[in-house]
Amino acid sequence: MRPILVRTHAVAWSGITAHIIAVETHVGSGLVSFNLVGMPDASVRESRDRVRAALQSCGVDWFEHRVTVNLSPAGIPKAGSAFDLAIAVGLLAARGVVSPKAVDGAVFMAELGLDGSLRPIRGVLPAVVGARREGMTQVVVAEDSLAEARLLPGVEVLGFAHLRDLVAHFGGRLPEGLPALSAREAPAVQPEVSHAHDEVDLADVRGQAFAAEGLVLAAAGGHHLLLVGEPGAGKTMLAKRLPTILPPLDDEDAIEVTAIHSICGTFDPSRGLMRTPPIETPHHSATMAAIIGGGTGVPRPGAISRAHAGVLVLDEAAEFSPQVLDAMRQPLESGVVNLHRARHHVEYPARFQLVLASNPCPCGHAISRRKSCMCSSLQRRRYMSRLSGPLLDRMDIQIPMMTPSPAELSDPPAYTSADARKLVAQARERARERWRGTPWTMNSHVPSRLLHDPKCGIEPAVYRGVERAIEDGTLSLRGADRVLRLALTIADVRGARRVGLSELVSSLKFRNGVDNANS
């Protein structure tokens, strides 16, 4: 027979970056076989059985020839069932059911059922982003993936419930008795700007004015936060209200966050792009793979990536594995996490705001004003030493929390979430104006060299005060930079044009709050 060569396109993922894969189908003479090449993993190799059953269910005879399907480029690892549809369409074109030219310019991504039905896959949004980036104009997905695929403009998206629908749409010759159904298109989903955490409010926190102020500063500047206090002081309550005062995500962050959750399978496409900063609250028994990312095969995103552009709350932080906590140090600095395996290297975004909440000792009453601590000094040191010095050095705001007295509980709340959210938005706008012309918009992300730029508006006396703290051993070099960044945020929240000694004193008070409480 004369050899037949057909090309379709699919998508492979590396992190949240999608790469267009050419699916080349060759039918030629030789022993009857079906060979899949191009670095497929076990789940991709299983597609030959699914595709064969699906085509036969549609009345298409299987090939009595040698069939080779090449996934190119071969150097990119391929995993998952998303290649099913592209392989099936290539075989249909080779069989003459659809025109090879009609399907050459489209990207196909869906899992196939044995009855020929198209099933949704994870990672549709980043796949559409990749298709648009590489100039593809048409994407074909399962009908249930239409809402997610249509979140981004610039690409024509088609969704089908069954292979027979797809064949009919592309003008194929249907086998006898196969009913032809038209493609169904869903209306584009309009993104919503909402606050998914509105069921809680910062006004619920009473008697913790200093801690509430620290929370507002953390939100305004993107600073990491440590809360240390006795049981029942309100650490967890305060930490879980941080997302309620954060502004909605911009388009770039919303697409990136949505892409991560699409890959994880935790995205609800009916709600549109994720505009609300995500919050992750893993249990202290979580493993390294659960927090940082990993797993068998292609590494999956962990909690630090799912919290990208949002908040990661580690309640009972001292109960977490010290190895897991220290593994977060590099992502805290770089904003990305690199996961290496023997055959895979994956990079995921991980620019999150870390909130650590912990008791000061095993019994929890080391800094209590009412109860005596039952722990020895050695026990207290061992307990808090689970939070390593380098990790604590990255915590810009460190707040001790005692149980409020009845009189303090009767005081009005320091902030409501609505008021704090407005204050945070104004402070971020001031920071954005300060760093206009640079890649940074928040004070906590600014590199050290810019902290000494005259445009910062930091008075010389502030630099001298920080230098004295370094000489005294009160601050490390990293800690000094973080104190300056926090002082900038304090000035932004106060509406001050320059950073003076008042802002420095407040910054040091928030930076050294836990140390002062323990002394």
Task: Determine the Cα–Cα distance for residues 226 and 62; give it in Å rounded to an integer.
Answer: 63
Domain boundary pick from 144, 169, 194? 169
Whole-number pLDDT of residue 195: 42
As to burial, measured by CB atoms within 10 angstroms (0-12 exposed, 13-18 middle, 19+ buried), residue 380 is middle
Host domain of residue 62: 4-169
Shared domain for 431 and 315, answered yes or no, is yes
Whichever domain contains 53, its CATH number is 3.30.230.10
Give me the torsion for CA of 43, 44, 46, 52, rounded to 10°.
150
Shared domain for 302 and 232, answered yes or no, is yes
Residue 188 counted as domain residue: no
In 3D, which of 146, 20, 62 has the Cα closest to residue 7? 20
Whole-number pLDDT of residue 496: 94
Shared domain for 107 and 218, answered yes or no, is no
Task: Determine the Cα–Cα distance for residues 18 and 2; give it in Å rounded to an integer.
Answer: 35
Task: Determine the Cα–Cα distance for residues 225 and 169; give it in Å rounded to an integer.
Answer: 55
Question: At 370, which amino acid appears?
Answer: R
Question: At 161, which amino acid appears?
Answer: A
Q: Using one digit for the tens of pLDDT, what is the confidence trace for 93-126?
A: 999 999 999 998 899 999 999 999 999 999 999 9
Domain boundary pick from 169, 193, 220? 169
Tokens of 254: 């919303």
Residue 158 counted as domain residue: yes
Q: Using one digit for the tens of pLDDT, what is the confidence trace for 391-448?
A: 999 999 999 999 888 888 888 888 999 999 999 999 999 999 999 999 999 999 999 9
Shared domain for 160 and 208, answered yes or no, is no
Residue 186 counted as domain residue: no
Q: Using one digit for the tens of pLDDT, what is the confidence trace for 269-278?
A: 888 899 999 9
Shared domain for 314 and 410, answered yes or no, is yes
Residue 394 counted as domain residue: yes
Q: Is the pLDDT of residue 489 over 50?
A: yes
For residues 17-26, give the mean pLDDT: 96
For residues 313-330, give the mean pLDDT: 96
Tokens of 187: 């209306």
pTM > 0.75: yes
Task: Determine the Cα–Cα distance for residues 496 and 155; give it in Å rounded to an integer.
Answer: 46
SS3 label, residue 61: coil
Shared domain for 445 and 318, answered yes or no, is yes
Shared domain for 377 and 469, answered yes or no, is yes
Shared domain for 122 and 237, answered yes or no, is no
Domain boundary pick from 125, 153, 169? 169
For residues 85-96, give the mean pLDDT: 95
Q: Using one digit for the tens of pLDDT, what is the confidence trace for 48-67?
A: 999 999 999 888 889 999 99
Question: At 158, which amino acid appears?
Answer: L
Split at pLDDT 50, 70, 90, the class of 345 is confident
Residue 192 counted as domain residue: no
Question: At 419, which amino acid appears?
Answer: D
Task: Determine the Cα–Cα distance for residues 128 and 319; give it in Å rounded to an integer.
Answer: 41
Shared domain for 231 and 330, answered yes or no, is yes
Residue 196 counted as domain residue: no
The secondary structure of 365-399 as a DSSP string is: -TT-SSS---S-HHHHHHHHTTS-HHHHHT-SEEE
Residue 508 counted as domain residue: yes
Shared domain for 146 and 214, answered yes or no, is no
- How many independent structural domains does the chain possess? 2
For residues 25-29, give the mean pLDDT: 93
Shared domain for 340 and 225, answered yes or no, is yes
Whichever domain contains 258, its CATH number is 3.40.50.300
418 contact partners, CB below 8 Å, separation of at least 6? none
Shared domain for 236 and 162, answered yes or no, is no
- Map tokens 């023997």 to a residue: 342
Residue 178 counted as domain residue: no
